[in-house]
Chains A and B, each alone.
Chain A
Amino acid sequence: MIDFSAYGVQTPVVNAVKCPSCGKLFYPAPMICSGCGERRDPSGIIFKDWETVSLSGECTLLAWTRVYALPEGYEMQYLLFGIVEFPNGLRASGRLNVDQPVTGMKVNAEVEVMENSKGKEFDGFVFGS
């Protein structure tokens, strides 16, 4: 894979965070560790910000739905959504891109730049086969 980072182009990424005291992983990031009570400071001024762990790759589909009544801002007929579990135990919600989804199937979590209903870009999961 070509590394475009030298040109200021960032590869889309979804990060989990790791508690610096006890090592517990979280997605999305909390402000306090439920394992040991360690605090996070997104500005890094008062407490150390936590190490990030990129989240992608093979995971298991726990639940899915095909939604036809989409919110304002989406023009397509429907969207597929799913909840997955990664091998490290973390779970995530995201869009699903599988022809025939089956609960329990292995899917691959890829991270893409997508738009939310307000047209704002974000890096998000697409779970594909």
Chain B
Amino acid sequence: MRKVSIVGIGHTVFGNLSEFDLVDVMGFASGNALDDAGIRDNRKIVEQVFVANMGGGILNHQTGIASSLVSRMDMEPAMAELIENGPASGASAVKMGYMAIASGLVDVVMVTGGELMRTVTGWEGTDFVASLLHSEAEYNYGLTLPAYGGMFTRMYMERYGLTERDLGLVAVKDHQNGEKNPFAHVRVPCTIDAIHDNENAHVINNYIAEPLRMYGMCPVSDGAASLILCANDSPKMKYFTKQKPILISGVGSATDTHCVHNRKDPLILDAVRLAAEKAYKMAELKPDDISFAELHDAFVILELAISEEVGFFERGKAGDAIRNGVTAINGAKPINTSGGLKSKGHPVGATGVSQVFELVKQLREQGEEGRQVKDPKHGMAVNFGGFGNNVVAIICSKGEV
């Protein structure tokens, strides 16, 4: 297969953008990526556009979004398709972009993920995301993703002795990184005293889905991110001299049972492990080779569970890592250097693209002061769809073209 690199990246701020149009928000991120790639005036060399979005039809009453984006960006006649894979839509679109180029079909692809979720109330937004659950056996009851996050957290705490304070430490670490990320949604400082140790901590950090509290969940965000991909062996690579290309060295994804209750051990996230194993195999890398990672912490417990499932830590030991600062920006294995979903935000269709954006930014060593990983070589992104029923892993590496 051909080697594929990321040659341009773009991002909007994550937060409340509900006064804007969905395609405009995606277009802003796409324009930033075209500019970053240095093809502002040569944008017609993009042959294929993949757009990641989960709820345009439901939340914004907009369909045919990929065609709309291409037209608004004056990029016709590029081929264009929408990728909907729940909260993993973003990394799925990156995977499709990789496949389109690796297969030889095209040389240059733009991948843009975006979501406007704050156009509806939080209750409607929660209901929209819950619509990915099994309609008869899960959704009907009023079960939501936070409900499964809560049950998963309790099972993990009871089995491995993790405490609510440990969960708070994940949020504190994520906010330390997110505070320095100009695109992050929640850039407020967060201390363990304020959200756990203080006797009044429960006032600002109340239960949402026991034992998960407010600071254990990601915010509901709007935003978009975009990437330009090019084949390493393409003559069109000559257009991309502005930035150092970053190689997509590993891609993998896997599925698991739709109903969480049907997993033999609901604490084992098979799709995460299998997606990561495929990506490692393709990249010829091991977990120890990964310098830093963006892991899908829609609920803080997921950062810990995913970090174990991809092989960074033994099962049940991720709590030690957070307590000992291993996953902090200056630790041995920095995780969620962008602030993660917890602080940066989670516009579902944009998230996977934004995770890969962060990998590229770190590997180019363009991170803001205080959140740049030292001498990174390989970064991994894990984008978690459903409650782990469809997971995509992407590894990016510094590489010679």
Contact = CB atoms under 8 A, between A and B. Distances in A.
Interface of A: 27-28, 62-74, 79, 81-83, 91-95, 103, 114, 116-117, 120, 122, 124-125
B126 A83 contact: no
B318 interface: no
Nearest to B130: A71
A65 B209 contact: yes
Interface string B127-146: 10010001011111111101
B138 A93 contact: yes
Of B206, B259, B261, B262, chain A has the most CB atoms within 10 Å of the CB of B261
The DSSP consensus for interface residues of chain B is helix
A116 B209 contact: no
13 contacts: A28-B134, A28-B136, A63-B152, A65-B210, A65-B212, A68-B208, A70-B144, A73-B142, A81-B143, A81-B147, A83-B260, A103-B158, A122-B136
Contact of A95 (B124, B126, B139, B141): B141
A68 to B, nearest CB: 6
B324 interface: no
Nearest to A126: B141
Interface in B126-180: 126-127, 130, 134, 136-144, 146-147, 150-152, 154-155, 158
Nearest to B123: A72
A61 to B, nearest CB: 10
Contact of B151 (A65, A70, A116): A65
B122 interface: yes
Given A64-B154, A81-B147, A73 B261 contact: no
Nearest to A69: B208
Contacts of A117: 127, 142
Nearest to A104: B158
Given A62-B261, A66-B150, A71-B144, 15 more contacts: A63-B151, A69-B146, A69-B209, A71-B126, A72-B121, A81-B142, A82-B151, A83-B261, A83-B266, A93-B138, A93-B143, A103-B154, A103-B155, A114-B140, A117-B142
Contact of B140 (A62, A67, A70, A116): A116
Contacts of A91: 261-262
B239 interface: no
A35 to B, nearest CB: 14
Contact of A67 (B136, B154, B209): B209
Contact of A65 (B140, B147, B158, B266): B147
Given A64-B154, A69-B126, A81 B262 contact: no
A67 B146 contact: yes
Contacts of B152: 63
A89 to B, nearest CB: 10
B20 interface: no
Nearest 6 CB-CB pairs, A to B? Answer: A65-B150, A71-B127, A72-B123, A63-B151, A91-B261, A28-B137
A34 to B, nearest CB: 10
A91 B142 CA distance: 18
Contacts of A65: 147, 150-151, 154, 209-212
A94 B141 contact: yes
A83 B130 contact: no
A28 B124 CA distance: 26
A67 B208 contact: yes
Contacts of B122: 69
Contacts of B142: 67, 70-71, 73-74, 79, 81, 95, 116-117
Contacts of B134: 28
Interface in B99-128: 121-124, 126-127
